[in-house]
Amino acid sequence: MLHLALVRKHTDTHTGSSAFVNISPPMKPYKFYLLSLAVILLDQAVKMLVHYNMELGSAGQIHVFGDWFKLHYTLNPGMAFGLQIGSEYGKLFLSLFRLAAMVGIGVYLWVLARKGVHQGLLWCTALILGGAIGNVIDSTFYGVFLNNAPEGSPTPWFHGQVIDMFYLDIWEGFIPEWVPGIGGEFYSLWPIFNIADASIFVGVFTILLMQRRFFAESPQTSPASADNTINTENLNPNTLTQNS
């Protein structure tokens, strides 16, 4: 078995000394796009099952684990986890922003793969892309095909409401009056989300948690050890294979 190590020669402009830096070969991004596709299909399948088999609101609620985790069919006209944007054209702005973000993330995933970055970063970006597309489908088409655009929307296109179903009933109750600013009011802490939201959350959270590993600089290889490597400074990496 022949193992080829790709290195690039780097010269320090201040000291004039040279070193060899390991570089990763470019990767084909197709497997990461397949993960995004799997997230999209699962997200849409669950949403269709909920839409056609559950009653909207508390009447159709299903308790999974006691009172703290339930399946609860609700429509979200805004962002992830039930957040919303006000104004008549807030939803249209959000839908167009999601479309732009979807395209940007898709291109970014391709660029990262061709750069040969840490595969963990690529898998996380694929999760974020799949989640973004999943919610874009809802916003763009559900107002037309599921007729769930909010009343008074200027057009059903790009005004579809996102279907949420996973209900974490963490806490609800009154805040004591002595608490400054929010005391004396009833509050609920209960995020409701879907597969797409969860995919985005897992991708972003993992990147933040593992950022030192994902964005670590490549270790340097001394000139002595570089004798057993191939200098690819002027060689097209596509002509090399890692194993034979």
Active site residues: 164, 197
With beta carbons less than 8 A apart as the criterion, state whether 66 and 159 touch. Answer: no
3-class secondary structure, 61: coil
206: tokens are 């993992």
Amino acid letter, residue 242:
Q
With beta carbons less than 8 A apart as the criterion, state whether 25 and 243 touch. Answer: no
Q: What is the DSSP letter of 26?
A: P
**Which of 80, 101, 77 is closest to 89 using CA atoms?**
77
Sign of the Cα torsion 20, 21, 27, 31 reads: positive
Q: Mention every residue, 6+ apart, whose C-beta is less than 8 A from residue 89.
A: 154
Which residues, listed in sequence order, are joined to residue 22 by a DSSP beta bridge?
A: 7
Torsion angle of the four alpha carbons 133, 134, 139, 145, in this order, in degrees rounded to the nearest 10: 120
